[in-house]
Structure formats: structure tokens, C-alpha cells
Structure 1
Amino acid sequence: MLTELHISGLGVIQDAVIEPHPGLTVVTGETGAGKTMVVTALGLLTGGRGDAGRVRTGADRAVVEARIAGPLAAGPLRVLDAVGGTADEDGSVILVRSVGADGRSRAHIGGRSAPLSTLSEITDPLIVVHGQSEAISLLRGPAQRAVLDRFAGSDRDLTAYRAARSQWQAAVADLADRTSNARERAQREQMLRLGLDEIDKIDPKPAEDVELIAEVRRLENADALRAGAQAALDALTGEAMPDGANAVSLIQGARKVLESAGDERLETLAAQLHAVSAVLVDSASDLTGFLGELDADPERMESLLSRQSVLRGLTRRYGADVDAVLEWRGQAQAELQSLDSSDEALTQLRDRVGSLAEVVAGAATALTRRRRTAAKKLGEEATQELVHLAMGRATLLVNVTHRPAEAEAADAVRIGKSWVVAGADGVDHVEFAMVAHHGAPELPIAKGASGGELSRVMLALEVVLAASDPVATMVFDEVDAGVGGRAATEIGRRLAMLARDHQVIVVTHLAQVAAFADRHYLVDAGPGDAVGSSAVREVSGTQRELELARMLGGTDGVTARAHAADLLTAAVAKRKRSKTSTSRT
């Protein structure tokens, strides 16, 4: 989780350090003081867009530095290793994101420079930021499907479906190409077959051209080679040498002398000379064979030159050398199989498309079944959470329906008696809908929920998803917008519940929410609310009561402070009761 956040040169914050609590941390402050800059900083850390307008006036750059406690999970650890970053001795990792006044962004992971996309890869499993824009994203179908899949644990079914769909789509594309481009494919097939026939008729062997060159050069120099080889053979075994001496006889004579000396050391040397003698005899035999080959076939040169000419014809058309020609032949043979547009080949391919479509339909059905089972449960549990978030009369529904398709469509599969669209994420259309109160019409949340209600729906879903959500740190920007009183207290209690399993950071303007915090930070503007003088500091004890009193009524009088103290006491009591009821459950 996040153990330290250092912000400098960002918006109105010159320099600030926040050490979030493992549980619930709140950030408060006057409107315009810059408390949202904390959320902005975390957004930059998770790979958000860097805006030069966020850089503090007069600063060269804005820098956000975070320390993530270790050890990291397998996914982020692989990313760290990939960029060459290192963790500290305690296993923690430092992440840095900077945005220059010129708009240029940089990222560092574990002390090494890294692309922004890589920064997102390492933070996505660790931190999620929920602001107004994230709540608005819940209006889109893909985001709603992703929430449902998180709750359903659909990863395995979705992976199986995508693998089957990928094979099916490849077969469909192959069939379409073979049938729609028949003339071009036939021409290409004819050209490949002519080339293969020519190569097969000549039947070149690997590296044959290189061997031919060597042999031609040898025959061209036959006289000089013959003279040199004969001279060497005579030196080894020839009788024409003075006094009949030759290398083999001299070595053998020296060996016999050493063997007869009766000395162990000389006998060892004699054995070595015996081995040398054997090598000389073998060399003489090889020279004899070489001379025989030179004289074996006087017409060999003409045959070699003719073969070279034939091979050059191949290399002019199909490759730089014989090995490249053979490589072309292999590729052409493989391509011919894919170009086969015969009736038999098309029938086989149609059968394959049909069988793969059935596999896709089966995988899609399993995925739909899991989603629909989870959708009912998710809607019921989220509705129960809305009771505590000032939306007690509302009902959240998660609808999973199929997307109809025409039978002729390239991405259509048949499930039962219906044709449906088989998209990358399945055949389902997932839509979150809301019934505002009993008797009200069912409307998509895009039409039936206000901005504040969307934030609370998001919070309700996060509470429900908490047990299955792998993200360690959750950040909420004014999730309490548009509520107050008892509803605000319930939102604070819900955030505190969420903080039992996750690290939660909340920017809030409500004292009822702030009272539940394990750690409270105040973003405080300087004298006269001067731009650029905001500071971030932790408040506790009396200072925290003063801040809650300000949030309640804008004063620090005795009554307001007493109200703030009561609020803190009540929050502690509510948290204890929640823990007790949860443990009994």
C-alpha cells in the first residue's frame, strides 16, 4: 500500500508530505485551498494525463513521489524487473512522476526512467482513483461490464471465450479471403507452383553452390595442386629422396633407436614418435587419394561449370544463394496450403468455421451464465448499501442481455434459436439500471441518477466488491457530494468499513465523514488565502476538533467544538459497533 506521498510544485501546493494510514485517511480544507490536488497527484501517479496548467506558478515542474510498501505482487514485480528498477532494503518501491512547465512528462520506477504506460502497469493493480470523471465512466457499458466481471470473478471464463473467439475469427477471415479473392489467389498459386516445379527439377542441395566454387577452383589449379601434392607425398614416402630418406622412414628409425635405449623416459618419447608416424602414414594416404581424384575425370570441369550455370538461374529468381532458394521453397509450400481454394479445401474450412463457432457459443454461454448469476447478487447487495447512503428507496438492477445479430454477420454466433453478436468481451450487453422508488420506471443510471447519486452508487459497488477487489489503495474525491446529515454519517461509516480490507484515502467537505478517519490531513491556505501558499499538515486532538468545527459551522466557538467532539465520539462508537456486528456475522 501507499506509505508516503510527496508533492511539490503542483497547483497551489509548494511542498507537502502525506503519510496515509493503512486504514482510512481523509483530506479536508476550505474550498479552493487545494485539497483536490492530492487526488490530482495520485492521478498523475497512476498514469493520468499531465497538464502543464497544473504546475505551480513560477515552478519548473510539478513532482509527485510515492513510496509503495513491499513486497510487491507478481505482476508489479515483473514490471519493476523489466525496467531495471530496484526495491529498497525493506522491499518498498519509489515511484516518481514529473510534469514540466512545458508539458513534458517523465516517470521513474525504482530509480530508473520508465515510460508512462509502464507506470500505469505497476500502479493499476495497486491504486484506483474514484473522482467525478470515474463516476461518470460508470455510465458507459464497458465500465459496467468490467464491474460485473470483477464481482463475478469471470477472468477464467472470459479468457477461455476470447481464446476460442480468436481461433474462430481467424478461420472466418481465412474463408472469406479464399472465396472473395479467388482469381488473385489462383494466379498466385500458379506462380508458386511453377517456381516449385523448377526448383524440384533442378533439386539443389544445401550449400551446393559454395561447394561447387571450391571444387572449380581446385580443378582450375590442378597442375599446381598436383605438383605440390606429389612433392609432399614424395617427402613423406617417396623413394626419389637422397639416400632413399623420407619423413616416414626417418621417424620410424628414430623410434627404433629410442626403444632400444632401455630408458623409460626415452621409451615414452618413442611412443610419441610412433603416433607421429601413424599420422604421417594417414596424411600420405590422403595425398594419394587427392592425386587420384585430380586425375579421375578430365571432363569434370565442364560438368561443374554447367551445374553452376543452372544454380545461378535459380538464385537470380528466388534468392541470393542456394540456401535462400531452399528457404523460398519451404515458404512457398506453406503458402500453397493456405491458398488452396479447391472445393474440397473450402468444404473443410467451412466445417472448421462451424465447429469453432459452436465452441465459441459454448464458451459464451458459460460466461453469460456466470454473469447473470452474479448480476442478481450484485444488484441486491448494492441496493442494500444504498439504504445507508441516503438512497433507501432506490433499487439497483444489473441487467445482462444478448446483443442480437444478423445470421450473415461475420461476428454472429448462434445460441439456442437466436443469432447474437460475439464481441471481444462476450455476447452480453451489461447495463446498470435504477428504480428511484416503488412504482417509478426502471431507467439506465445514465438517465436515472444525478452526479451525486452516481458517486454513491460507485461507493456502494466498491463496498460490495471490497472482498474480491485486488486493489490495495482506493482514493475517493468528494464521494459525499450532495448529501448531509445522517446520510453523510452513513457514508463515513461505509468508508470506514471499506478501510478494513483496503487503504482508503478520501477528499471530503463533510465533518461527518472526516470524523471516521484514522488519520486526518488539512490543506490550509496561507494568510489571506494567497495563491500558492497552501500547506498540508496532519491534525489530531484539539486541532482536529477545530477543523471539524469549522466544517460543521465555519466557527471555532465552544458550541461548534462541543459538536465536533461529540461527532468524533459517535464515530468511534459506530465503528466499534460495526466491527462487532461484522465479527458475529
Structure 2
Amino acid sequence: MLEEIAIEDLGVIRAARVPLSAGLTVITGETGAGKTMVLTGLGLLMGGKADPGTVRPGADRAVVEGRLDLSRHPQVAGRVDEAGGATDDDGTVVVVRTVAAGRSRAHLGGRGVPQGVLAEIADELVTVHGQADQLRLRTPGKQREALDRFAGSDHAATLEAYRTAWTERTGLQHEIDDLTARAAERAREAELLRLGLAEIERVDPQPGEDVQLTALVARLGNAEALRQGAQEAHDAVVGDDVETEGSAVHAVERARRALEAAAADDPALADQATRLAEAGYLLADVATELSSYVADLQADPAALETAHTRLAALGSLTRSYGTTVDDVLQWSSDAGLRLLDLDDGGDRVRGMQERVEELDTELAALAERITATRQEAAGRLAASVTAELAGLAMSGARLEVEVTATDAGPSGADQVTFLLVPHPGAPPRPLGKGASGGELSRVMLAVEVALATAAGDTVLPTFVFDEVDAGVGGRAAVEVGRRLAVLARTTQVVVVTHLAQVAAFADTHLVVTKSTASDDDTTVTGVRPVTDDDRVRELARMLSGQEESESARRHALELLESSAVGR
């Protein structure tokens, strides 16, 4: 719902605040006062095209700011959040549109956004009916949606079941088409996987085998150097035996004995002697292991050749399937799983095709039910709208709602077309063709009233009507006002009108006034709400052009009283 609009330097409006409330709000004023600029400002907030020519002469830019209540529109609030905007704690969001020479800017909830984001949000929140605006129900898709809404909750449940099945079928068919189109590619991939797995199976690598073989080759290829180094180390540690002069074991033993002899005079040296004894034992162990190593280390050309051959075989695998044998084994595991998936493709396609056939049967049954309920609802909607038209100075006009078969789609197998017969004997024509702007506005009003009556607790958008009363007067004008009031029971309605008979039904009455600025003699426009006597005077002006006329005032009071009774 729109809570208010603030306008600065737009057309003849220097600064104006337009308070809006629930129910029916009418905007009236003298011709040329600036009512059009109010609607222009609303259009800018709703993502409409910006025209720098609408900036007030002498001003650098025009600014329109509006506050929207999204508390009953959680999906729209979510879209605001996606765009980076923020809603206030009370569920409202501020929209700002700035128009300057050559450019315009839009802000939503404090964040700059593209103009298209405002239009996207407006599509959910506001519907404008006027001669210069696209009618919401002009396209077949929107007409189908309107008929579906009128058809009721049971029809909506059937339609939702159909759409769910359609979505599943579409996804399955896409996957089938993809698998079928890639059959040759999948076969080639499977063959390459089989060749790779066969090669790996033939070589039969073991985890870490390449690391172990590399170490073995290094050992066998350098056996003499390793033996010589180990022997020199052994001799340095123990020499020919533990008593060899200059050996490490002999030097440690001498040091231990010296400390043990001195420890008699200073017990602190006993600990050091013990540690030297432990070092001697460790050196002896090292010497034993080195001796064993030298004894076991023998040159083995055959074993070296075998190791080189095995490494070459493993190297051919690592060049193709990884940098190490462990990488090769991981590739083998992954390839096996992928091969199972590829080999299972035929079974999967057959299974999906069977499911598609089941869904086709289900969709056909659901589409038949949808068509039946649409045809039934079409007759009721046409009768309801036609009855409304009779009271809107369009006696003899009728609406026909045509439901024809078409190719199945996500919303069924029907095309819905609204046809208007403007007078008896005239051929039915698609809505929006062959009727004046005022007639179209009244048809839209009749349709919206019929839909609102059937909507129940559904949250409807804000409706804005411009020139809905064009070409009517007298009793018909009263009926226009009455139907706007009926529509306003379930949603917010804003109407720009020239007729007192319509304005009398308003819950909020706003008057657009113009005056001359004292500083530069330019014409400026303001907007003010009127109540009580001020409202009677405005209605009297609309009736006779003389707001002080007693007869006009009496007529205005009668309109207000009759509108209250007629609601």
C-alpha cells in the first residue's frame, strides 16, 4: 500500500505532499492545476520512464519520494532485501526517484538500484488504469491469470498440481535430451576409462610403491659408496675393537674413568660419568648396526635391473594418471565410479522415459480439469462484469471470456481471451481494441470489482484510475463511484476524477490547487486534504463551478449523504 508521496520541482509542483490511506482516495482540482503531475510522480516511483522536460523551470532536478507499506507483501520485501535495500521496523520502505537533465536515479530502501527494480516491485504493488497506460489485463497471459484468480481455491490447487508436474516433466525431458545428445561422447569417455583401468590393472601398483622403489634403486645403485661410508663410520666409532686408540668408544671410556676417579673428591662429577657411560653404550649399538649394514650390503645387479623396470612401468602410469602412484590409485577409484555412472545411462534414460509417460498421463488429466473449471469460471466472470457494465453507462455492452485449446504449457492447455462487445449487434473484439479510453477504464473497473468480490482474503494491489469517469455523468457517475467504493473495501484505490458524484464516495479527498509564487510569478501547485465544510465547497465547485452556491452546496451534501447510504 502507498502511504504517501512527496514531490519537489516536478512540472508545476514546487513542493507537495500527497498523503494516501487505505480505502478510496480521490484527487480533484481545477483543470490544469497539476493532477497529471501527481500521477507522473507516482509513475516515476513505480519505475516509469523519466523525462527531463518535466523538471520545473529554474530547478536543477525533480525529486519524488514515496513510502510503501510492505507488511502484507513478504515476497516484495524479500526482493527489496535482495536489491540491498532496507525496510523499516514497521514494514515500510522509502523509494526515491531523482530526475535531472540527461539522467535519473532511483533509490530503494536507502540503496541505489536500477530503474527496472522499481518497475519489478511496482508490478506486484500497483495497477494503473488510464488512457496512457498499459492495461494490466490487455495481454492473454494476464487475462488467464485473472480468470484463474476468479475461479477460486480448488482451481488454484489443481493448477498448482499441474505446474508441479509440468516442472518435473520439463526437467526430466531436458535430462533425457542431454543424455541422448551426448550418447556418443559418453561412449568415448567410457572406452577411455576402460583402457586406463585395464592398464592400471595390468601394472597393479601398490600404495607408496614408487617411493619405496626409488629408495631401493638409490641404495643398490650406490652400494660400494654406501659400504665404504658405513665402514669408515664404524672404524671411527670403535676401530678394530673397543680398545683401539683414537676410536670414539675408547675416548669416551677414558673420559668416564677419569670422572669416576675424580668423583671421590666431588660427587657432582658422578652424574657426568654416568652420562658418559650411557654415551658409550649408544656408540657400541651404533657400531653393531653399522657392522651389520656393511655385512648385508651387497651389489645386486639383477635386483637393480628389476627395480628400474618396475619404476619405468609405474612411471608410464604416473605420466598419464597422476604424479604419484597414490594419485594413480585415486584416479582408478574415481574412474570406476564414473564408468558405473556412464554404463548406467541407458537404464536411467529408460527409467526417466517411463516417468515422463506417467507425468504425461497425469498432466493430461489435470489439464482437462483446469479447462473445465476455466470454462465454468469464464461464464460467471463474463456475467459478473457485464452486470457491472450496465451500471457504468455501458448498457448493452458485454464481456465475453473465451477459453480455447492451445499447446500445453506451464499453465495448462488453454488460451484465455477477454472480448468486449461494446453494443448489441457489434462483433466481439479483443479487450483494448475498438473502445475509447474512458470505456476501457470502466471495463477495467468492472473487471477489477468482479475479481475483488471473488478474491476473499487475497491481498490485492493498489489500483490507480485516471479518467475512469470520462464520458459519463448523472446516475452512471454515481454508479462509478459506488463500484470504486466497493473495490476499496478490499484494497487501496486512488482515483483522479472530475465528477463530484465519484468524489463523494471517497474515504480521503485530496484537492490539487494552483497559485502564483510571490517571488518569481510562476505557477505552483499544492495538494491538501479536505474535510467537512471544505469538502462540501470542493464538491460544490465540481458540480457548478461556484463553490459558494447554496444550491450546489445542498446538492453536495445530498451526494455525501447518499454515498454514505449507498456504500
> Which TM bucket (shorter chain)?
0.7 to 0.9
Q: Say if 1:168 and 1:360, in contact at 8 Å, map to a contact too.
A: no
What is the TM-score of this pair, normalised by structure 2? 0.73
**Structure 1 residues 512 and 221, CA gap change in structure 2 (3 angstroms):** farther
**Pairwise CA distance, 1:215:** 5.5
Instruction: Encode CA deviations 1:72-124: one digit per residue, 9 max, x unaligned.
Output: 54313323443444333444322223344323432222x23344444445444
**Pairwise CA distance, 1:334:** 4.5
Query: Residues of 2 paired with 1:566 and 1:375: CA distance?
Result: 41
Amino acid at match of 1:461: V
Equivalent residue in structure 1 for 2:405, among 397, 402, 407: 402
**Pairwise CA distance, 1:191:** 2.1
Amino acid at match of 1:554: G
Percent identical residues: 41
Query: Residues of 1 paired with 2:328 and 2:525: CA distance?
Result: 73
**Structure 1 residues 159 and 330, CA gap change in structure 2 (3 angstroms):** farther
Instruction: Encode CA deviations 1:490-524: one digit per residue, 9 max, x unaligned.
Output: 11121122222222111112222122222222222
Query: Residues of 2 paired with 1:4 and 1:137: CA distance?
Result: 23
Structure 2 unaligned blocks of 5 or more: 234-241, 243-247, 254-288, 298-302
Match of 1:362 in 2: 365
**Pairwise CA distance, 1:350:** 5.8
**Pairwise CA distance, 1:383:** 2.0
Instruction: Work out whether 1:499 is the aligned partner of 2:488.
Output: yes
Instruction: Encode CA deviations 1:371-404: one digit per residue, 9 max, x unaligned.
Output: 223222222222222222112332322221212x
Instruction: Encode CA deviations 1:285-313: one digit per residue, 9 max, x unaligned.
Output: xx9xxx9xx99x97556534532321312
Q: Say if 2:477 and 2:501, in contact at 8 Å, map to a contact too.
A: yes
Pick the structure with greater CA Rg.
2
**RMSD, aligned α-carbons:** 4.4
Q: How does 1:189-338 map to 2 (within 5 A)?
A: 189-203=186-200, 303-314=310-321, 334=341
Amino acid at match of 1:107: H
Match of 1:152 in 2: 151
Match of 2:126 in 1: 127
**Structure 1 residues 513 and 323, CA gap change in structure 2 (3 angstroms):** farther
Instruction: Encode CA deviations 1:473-505: one digit per residue, 9 max, x unaligned.
Output: 222122112212221111112112222222211
Instruction: Work out whether 1:161 is the aligned partner of 2:162.
Output: yes
Q: Say if 2:485 and 2:506, in contact at 8 Å, map to a contact too.
A: yes
Query: Residues of 2 paired with 1:56 and 1:504: CA distance?
Result: 28
Match of 1:490 in 2: 479
Q: Say if 1:47 and 1:119, in contact at 8 Å, map to a contact too.
A: yes
Query: Residues of 2 paired with 1:308 and 1:326: CA distance?
Result: 19
Give the count of matched residue pairs.
492
Amino acid at match of 1:427: A
Q: Say if 1:127 and 1:474, in contact at 8 Å, map to a contact too.
A: yes
**Structure 1 residues 213 and 72, CA gap change in structure 2 (3 angstroms):** farther
Q: Say if 2:29 and 2:511, in contact at 8 Å, map to a contact too.
A: yes
Match of 1:141 in 2: 140
Query: Residues of 1 paired with 2:166 and 2:492: CA distance?
Result: 38
Instruction: Encode CA deviations 1:284-343: one digit per residue, 9 max, x unaligned.
Output: xxx9xxx9xx99x97556534532321312459xxx9886787677667656655x5xxx
Structure 1 unaligned blocks of 5 or more: 232-238, 244-286, 404-420, 579-585
Match of 1:247 in 2: none
Query: Residues of 2 paired with 1:220 and 1:50: CA distance?
Result: 81
Query: Residues of 2 paired with 1:471 and 1:574: CA distance?
Result: 24
**Structure 1 residues 189 and 78, CA gap change in structure 2 (3 angstroms):** closer
Query: Residues of 2 paired with 1:71 and 1:171: CA distance?
Result: 38
Query: Residues of 2 paired with 1:163 and 1:19: CA distance?
Result: 43
Query: Residues of 1 paired with 2:190 and 2:420: CA distance?
Result: 65
Instruction: Work out whether 1:445 is the aligned partner of 2:448.
Output: no
* 1:31 match: secondary structure: coil
Amino acid at match of 2:317: V
What is the TM-score of this pair, normalised by structure 1? 0.71
Instruction: Encode CA deviations 1:40-85: one digit per residue, 9 max, x unaligned.
Output: 3223323333344443344443332222346354313323443444
**Pairwise CA distance, 1:148:** 1.0
Query: Residues of 2 paired with 1:476 and 1:549: CA distance?
Result: 22
